[in-house]
Structure 1
Amino acid sequence: MDKIRLIEAIMGRMDRKSSIEREPRTLKMNQIQFAREAALYVMNTTSMEEAIKIFTEGLEAAECKAIRDEDESIMENWFHEQEADELPPLYQLRDIVTAPF
């Protein structure tokens, strides 16, 4: 009987979820809905230019470390030429459409 309970306890702990599902949510559903309604209100009551100013207020540009030269690819700027070929596929640059999120 103890073995069965031990197996049930272990199996109960093996909750297979993706890592994003294990992360705590930043906003509750009612907060998300409120934000959607507020955004819709802004879009319906202001000009496109004013809405863009409201939605982007406080944002700062991200610094780009890669420099593209005519003779070099982005990877060659981040790594030495021979190192870029040796990187596993996970660390190679991917198109934004293929990102896992």
Structure 2
Amino acid sequence: MEVSKRMEMLERKSSIDTEPMTLHFDQIENAREEAICVIKTKTFQEAMDIFTKETQDSLKAREENREKYANKKNDDDDEEERLVFLSPHGWDIASAPF
């Protein structure tokens, strides 16, 4: 397989494609107007919930991932598995990188 075909298979994206899009001035103005409308028509708590919903969801998801990782780490903490790993007879010598 030639190099150009390999490169096409990788389907690399430029770093600029992964950057967040910049808002145009009219979009910023529209967002300001919508925010003022929310502040004028909602209670303080409702407005805070609207403005911070994504942040709260992200924080919840992050905490859930941390808990899953912690639980998995505790589940994998089996004494026998550690002893097999520490024993040279449990190693796969043929595939060792050294």
**TM-score between the two structures when normalised by the length of structure 2:** 0.36
Between Structure 1 and Structure 2, the one with more helix by share is 2
Greater RCO, 1 or 2 (C-alpha within 8 Å, sep 6+): 1
**What TM-score does the superposition give when structure 1 sets the normalisation length?**
0.35
